[in-house]
Chain A
Amino acid sequence: MEPIGIFILAMLCQVYSCAANVSDSVERMQYASVAGDEYLQEERLETNLDDKVYFDFDKSTLDAEDKNLLEQYLPEIKKAKIVRLEGHCDERGTREYNLALGERRALEVRDFLIVKGVSGKKIRVVSFGEEKPLKSASNEKAWAENRRVEISLY
């Protein structure tokens, strides 16, 4: 438990230092470390698990089924260097709000993994909002498939 506590403390420190007006150089460094996606060059780790978690409209909560799937990921994640969580929404509602909602969904998954003992440093979160739908049709079935967080391990 201890490392998690320290991690959360560190995160809090980061948030506060960001919230205050920080100098230019710090901004860039911070940005680069978050944006750093060199891991994407490496090969993706294959698992035989479903790589998507689905959500209800305008919701970011995980249900029992989702949690069950994520628990199955835990041993796989131990082998991985990076866990990439990509949040998506369906086309309904506004684009910028959906961008935030996609992020919220990915974070919900991240928080669950952290609680289960995965190091936050391993996790990369990104949201595409409604910009990258899996299905382009405008019906309930397509929308349900598009409201997702995609999990990939590297």
Chain B
Amino acid sequence: MIRFLFVALILVSNSIFSILEIEILKGSDNLSKIAFVPFGVDDGIEESYGRQISRNIEKNMLLFGEFENLPKSEMLSYPSSGNDFYYRDWKVLGVDYSVIGKVNSVNSLGNLNISYSLFNINRRIKLLEGEIVGSEDNIEGISKIISNRIYEEITGLKGIFDTKLAYVINSDADTYQMCISDIDGKNEQILFSSKAPIMSPDWSPDRKKMAYVSFENGLAEIFIQDLQSGERNSIQALGMTNSAPVWSPDGKSLALVVSFSGNPDIFLYSINSKRLIRLTNHYGIDTEPSWSPDSKKIIFTSDRSGSPQLYEINTQSKRKKRLTRDGNYNARGRYFPDGKSIFFVHGNNGNFQIATKKLSSRYIETLTSTSLDESPTISPNGNIIIYATKDGSNGYLGGITLDGKSRFSLPVKNGSVREPAWSPLLN
């Protein structure tokens, strides 16, 4: 055995040392180009269905600027099945992926049967082939499902086209609205409207409830609202001010901030037993808690060092660890879905920008370039951050992909928009 090992070692050492290796670290700044071919239709089916579905998929896929599309006018053919699909037709156009499909039949219930395929042009392989049955009046929903599958196949990340966004709109000095909408901005719904400020919306992990802070009774108070029934309840913790509620990953408790006679500290609040457990106890400001995905740790902002910095506390051992040291303003930290990095608001030379940091590294990387960026929220797949920023006196929402290739802003609303909160995925 030992002898064998020796021989193997010799061979390996020889081969390693003699072959040239070139390291590739930097990727291209280009985006993958996708052709969304108008879906074909079977005899007797309205042609508009086919076009509508491929247009919806295209809109979804382009929503966050992660891909580039091939204009329809440049397409050489409109294949609708693998039989009439030729790779070279797309290769010459510089296309990386093609999406084709067909609306096959309508059964007696008015259901459409839609088949779709995704091709990798460079590798000349069919990556995905699927079929989906759905009702005629749910073309949007069907398109979202297909978009998610295509997105997952190309990026290896979870599709997020059926997620939602919560946000606060301040339309004039005395009107505050807590809203939710689909992630593409459609189907906006006002959850609660008030003449006093509303803050800090946070989705329950099952997407059925929302926790937020409302000043309707004259001071900061935490409410939980059921999204189905609209019923809202103040959680009536203790102290002067209750704020910054965030749901635990299991949805059974909230981490929140209670200020007893002016000293804000982090507490855990059990929804069922209504018990408070103290997590931090310091005369400085402790606020903005958020759970790690494994719910073992809570990140929070504290000014105990003299300026706001991020700390992490183990919910069991209560051991604390300082996470940021560079700069004199690092606040409102959140973990990435994989728990290995954090994102937060980083103040630098009077500018407040969204930044990220790997927990294993000490370097802070700034993502955004405007100067009053705050309230970052991350897509459940960890690839996109939406944040609030300001243009003149009006607040709007901006977004950025984490590779920095795409920056976008969400459609302007009537009023100042702030505090976006990205919903979890539907399970």
Q: When A and B assemble into the complex, do they touch directly, with CB atoms less than 8 Å apart?
A: yes
Which A residues form the contact surface with B (CB < 8 A)?
Answer: 11, 14-15, 18-19, 21-22, 24, 27-28, 30-31, 34-35, 37, 40, 58, 91-97, 99-101, 103-104, 106-107, 110, 125-129, 131-132, 136-138
Q: How far is the CB of B358 from chain A (nearest CB, A)?
A: 21
Tally inter-chain residue pairs, CB-CB below 8 A.
130
- Beyond A94-B375, A96-B244, A104-B262, whether A27 also contacts B390 by CB under 8 A is no
A2 and B111 CA atoms in complex are apart in Å by: 82
Are A97 and B262 in contact, CB atoms less than 8 angstroms apart?
A: no
A131 and B392 CA atoms in complex are apart in Å by: 17
A-B CB contact pairs (8 Å), 7 listed: A15-B261, A35-B221, A93-B345, A96-B199, A96-B287, A100-B241, A103-B264
- Beyond A34-B239, A99-B241, A100-B264, whether A93 also contacts B287 by CB under 8 A is no
Cβ–Cβ < 8 Å partners of A31 in chain B: 236-238
> Which A residue's beta carbon lies closest to that of B329?
A93
Cβ–Cβ < 8 Å partners of A92 in chain B: 347, 350, 352, 372
A14 and B347 CA atoms in complex are apart in Å by: 37
A34 and B390 CA atoms in complex are apart in Å by: 35
- Beyond A18-B239, A31-B238, A100-B264, whether A94 also contacts B331 by CB under 8 A is yes
Which are the 5 A-B pairs with shortest beta-carbon distances?
Answer: A131-B197, A107-B262, A136-B393, A94-B332, A100-B285
> Which B residue's beta carbon lies closest to that of A15?
B260
Cβ–Cβ < 8 Å partners of B192 in chain A: none
Are B219 and A11 in contact, CB atoms less than 8 angstroms apart?
A: no
Q: How far is the CB of B197 from chain A (nearest CB, A)?
A: 4
Are A100 and B259 in contact, CB atoms less than 8 angstroms apart?
A: yes
Cβ–Cβ < 8 Å partners of B260 in chain A: 14-15, 18-19
Are B285 and A104 in contact, CB atoms less than 8 angstroms apart?
A: yes
Are A27 and B329 in contact, CB atoms less than 8 angstroms apart?
A: no
> Which A residue's beta carbon lies closest to that of B388?
A95
Q: How far is the CB of A123 from chain B (nearest CB, A)?
A: 11
A125 and B264 CA atoms in complex are apart in Å by: 14
- Beyond A31-B238, A93-B352, A99-B199, whether A58 also contacts B287 by CB under 8 A is no
A126 and B243 CA atoms in complex are apart in Å by: 13
Cβ–Cβ < 8 Å partners of B374 in chain A: 93-95
Cβ–Cβ < 8 Å partners of A30 in chain B: 238-239
